[in-house]
Structure 1
Amino acid sequence: MFKLISAILFLCGAYMLHAQPDFDYAVSVPSKSLQSQENIQVYLPQSYHEGNRNYPVLYILDGQWFFLNGVAIQETLRGDGLLPEMIVVGIDFKSRSYHDSLHFNHWDALSTYIQEELPTYVDHTYRTTAERIVFGWENPSFMVSEFLFKKDPVFTGFILSNGGYVNQEMLEQFNRYEGKRLYLYIANSKKDIYTIESSRELEETLAAQSAKNLEWKYELFNEETHESLAYTSIYQGLRFYYHNYSSKVFSGTKEFYDEGGLPGLKAYFKARSERFGMESEIDASTKNSLIWLAWKQDDFSSFQLFMTEFKDVLSTPRYASSYWQNRFGQYYLKNNDASSAIEYFNNGIKQYPDPEYLPVMHAGLGNAYALVRNTSKARVHYKQAIRLAKANNNDEQRKDYEKQLKSLK
């Protein structure tokens, strides 16, 4: 017995270890441009060793400070389906004085390393996709600006925190770019008296002169300071880049219609499919949430629309219970749709005969038949509800159903 328990504990421990994310804080990368061995930190998501799929990569400049921020944000957001699992690479600057001056001695060499040598190494070492997002805070944000505007971009997403710039020459060069759409997120705070002007000038330039194939956003977080903004910037920058990755969530049915109703929703999933290679059909999560939202807001016309348009999800295991059949039946009954109420009550009774809900659904049928003046069937189901309530020793239910039967005309 002791050996058996030990074996089980060993296997459970091995499974738990295997299921954990993979961290390496000291990966050495050779760099010809810098004539040195550079250190990076690498995070591989939990599923990396469980299959052979490829992953997008988030590159964090100043990894010695912000690598774990990127990992934590990635873990949080992908857990809610707001972005895919990602590889996170921290680029370690701690051995260099890259924040002392904008024009330090190795700026060009470091740019070559980050844009050319490092992505090549990462792509050859790990299973990656063509999606690369790069984050820079303070002085490195100016470097990330150059990655976007001065050369053919090797990254697809750019997050600038507390800095960044563009001039006319850079913008003209970028407008010759003919590749896929790129994404730029800029964040700062009015309390950052050191870099706010550069961010503002960048925003004003982009607003005045359109940049082809570039989607961008500028946000201020005025409760943050120069030192505290990086985490927020990574979080919001990833949310912006993956703004159309997740299931669609609405705050209310009004927002659903304001954003184009069903045609707008279908367009969202079509665009998501084209960008990320996902299914183009509206997913089950969105369908379920809209059905629930209409019910919660007591918007019966929208509820009817969603129940008709999304009827495919009604046959999924989510609704395979007397609880849901009764819930739908009661809501239809509340809105005087007797035929639909009868359909769901009957389905619940026949397919999911849960003793707890059987008397409730029979009473629901009694109410539905009473609504259409079929008193004979109403009487049959009220009596059945009374009998079942007695069997469940539920006197309160029984008295209620007896009262309904007595009032039946």
Structure 2
Amino acid sequence: MKMKVITATVATVLIFFGVQAQSEGIPNVVGTNHLLSSKILNEQREVQIYLPPDYQDSAKAYPVVYVLDGQRFFLHVVSLSQSFQQFQLTPEFIIVGINNSYPNRFRHFGEGKENFKGFLENELMPYVNENFRTKGENLLFGWEYGASFVFHMMMDQPTLFNAYLMASPFPIFDAIDGLDTSSNMGTQLYFAVSPDEYDVRHSTEKLNEKLTTQPIDGLSWKYFEFELEEHRSTGYPTLYHGLRDYFKYYQEFETNNLRKFINAGGMEYALNHAQERAKRYGFEPDLSLWSRFTIVRSAMRADDFYHFETLLHALDKDEFIKELLAQRDYAVSQIAAFYEKHNRFKETIELYDLLLKKYPDSERLLAKKRSAQSKL
């Protein structure tokens, strides 16, 4: 009889066992652990691998993000990937966390870096490519000594990874002198520092100056200075901003700041984003309705009527309003209110008339129309 009670229902179990049953819980498993026998390092290497949620139900191939010091940063990158997916900011990607124990990490990333390069290129990456559906698009992240290793890997094998991400790289000051500015590197580099990191900051400033004064063909790069961070925390925002920028064309175009939009190139900038997004990820090459609305909205938020009208006409105002009515009619109400704010009552009434055709019994819209008419 006791067994029947235990297996009857979850509710019955909770009634009989209360808090004790809840405290036992269920294991929260994130990814899988893999133990690789490395001939190059002459040791067993533990790596953690996280697959996108839809991996088993799809035939897609995925980019791979390799994370040095996986024991520290693996879960952070998993959390970022889940957040990115929720807001459709990046494609899904496989995450490989490479665990390192202290103090061995300093040897692997320092005097033993040539062997560790060999392990990464000739053992780990082939293992991942053979066992999982990868698309040949790889990114490498490291912090502190791990970032120094990333820098040396980029100098030695610039095209092995599509992007190199370095948080508080140290030591690289002397190695920067060996960076061949006459080469064609064909990759992307992100590096970051906290202003309070004395020796590290000297290195990143030196690298920033060298890349600024002696651009390297094929190398796209960004330098981040995180004012509120410290040496121990720079890895986290570097991963967020580096991954967001690398995959920046995945998100549909959106702008929230009129001045930044204009300075970046305005409509040409937006159209280029849409076309690049289509080329890289297979989306439609035209600006979405949401993208176009955020462009107009940026002028309304800036209270800039000149650019508001200019952008509306650039987007084919009548057709744009028609699409908004069909899909985002709240936006038409916002545009009407902006016209009214700037004493353009004729346009205001016209838009409320369009909304009233869709919602003829709306007292709110009728009141707004009458208010505008009284000011005409």
1:349 paired residue among 331, 348, 356: 356
Q: Aligned partners of 1:189 and 1:323: how far apart in 2?
A: 43
2:78 paired residue among 71, 79, 85: 71
The superposition leaves residues 49-91 of structure 1 with CA deviations (integer Å, 9 ceiling, x where unpaired) of: 4433232221110101111122223333443343332221100
Deviation of residue 302 (structure 1)?
2.9
1:52 aligned residue: 59
1:162 paired residue among 165, 168, 185: 168
1:175 aligned residue: 183
SS of residue matched to 1:226: coil
Number of residue-to-residue matches in the alignment: 346
1:211 paired residue among 207, 216, 221: 216
1:129 paired residue among 135, 148, 156: 135
- In the superposition, the TM-score normalised over structure 2's length comes to 0.77
Letter in structure 1 aligned against 2:207? L
Q: Which runs of 5+ in 1 are unaligned?
A: 1-5, 8-20, 372-409
Distance 1:315 1:53, change over 3 A: farther
1:14 aligned residue: none
Structure 1 segment 385-400 matched on structure 2, within 5 A: none
1:287–1:310 contact (8 Å) kept in structure 2? no
1:150–1:170 contact (8 Å) kept in structure 2? no
Say which structure, 1 or 2, has more relative contact order (CA 8 Å, 6+ apart).
2
User: 239-248 or 143-152: which moved more?
Assistant: 239-248
Deviation of residue 148 (structure 1)?
1.1
The superposition leaves residues 223-268 of structure 1 with CA deviations (integer Å, 9 ceiling, x where unpaired) of: 4333222212222322332344434443433333333222232233
1:265 paired residue among 255, 262, 270: 270
2:64–2:93 contact (8 Å) kept in structure 1? yes
2:92 paired residue among 78, 85, 91: 85
Distance 1:203 1:298, change over 3 A: closer
Tell me, yes or no, if structure 1 residue 108 matches structure 2 residue 114: yes
Deviation of residue 158 (structure 1)?
0.6
Q: Aligned partners of 2:138 and 2:127: how far apart in 1?
A: 13
2:356–2:365 contact (8 Å) kept in structure 1? yes
SS of residue matched to 2:285: coil
Letter in structure 2 aligned against 1:42? I
Letter in structure 1 aligned against 2:80? I
Letter in structure 1 aligned against 2:360? P
Tell me, yes or no, if structure 1 residue 282 matches structure 2 residue 287: yes
1:329–1:364 contact (8 Å) kept in structure 2? no
1:61–1:137 contact (8 Å) kept in structure 2? yes
User: 126-135 or 333-342: which moved more?
Assistant: 333-342
Q: Which runs of 5+ in 2 are unaligned?
A: 1-8, 11-27
1:56–1:131 contact (8 Å) kept in structure 2? yes
Please identify the structure whose Cα radius of gyration is greater. 1
2:289–2:323 contact (8 Å) kept in structure 1? no
Q: Aligned partners of 1:202 and 1:293: how far apart in 2?
A: 36
Q: Aligned partners of 1:191 and 1:359: how far apart in 2?
A: 59
SS of residue matched to 2:95: strand
Structure 1 moving runs of 4+ over 6 Å: none
Q: Aligned partners of 2:169 and 2:56: how far apart in 1?
A: 37
2:275–2:285 contact (8 Å) kept in structure 1? yes
SS of residue matched to 2:119: helix
Tell me, yes or no, if structure 1 residue 39 matches structure 2 residue 46: yes
Deviation of residue 30 (structure 1)?
4.3
Letter in structure 2 aligned against 1:302? H
- In the superposition, the TM-score normalised over structure 1's length comes to 0.72
Letter in structure 2 aligned against 1:256? F
SS of residue matched to 1:23: coil
Deviation of residue 146 (structure 1)?
2.0
1:149 aligned residue: 155
Structure 1 segment 291-330 matched on structure 2, within 5 A: 291-308=296-313, 309=315, 311=317, 314-316=321-323, 320=327, 325-330=332-337
Letter in structure 2 aligned against 1:258? N
Q: Aligned partners of 2:333 and 2:229: how far apart in 1?
A: 50
Letter in structure 1 aligned against 2:183? N
Q: Aligned partners of 2:199 and 2:81: how far apart in 1?
A: 29
Q: Aligned partners of 2:66 and 2:355: how far apart in 1?
A: 53
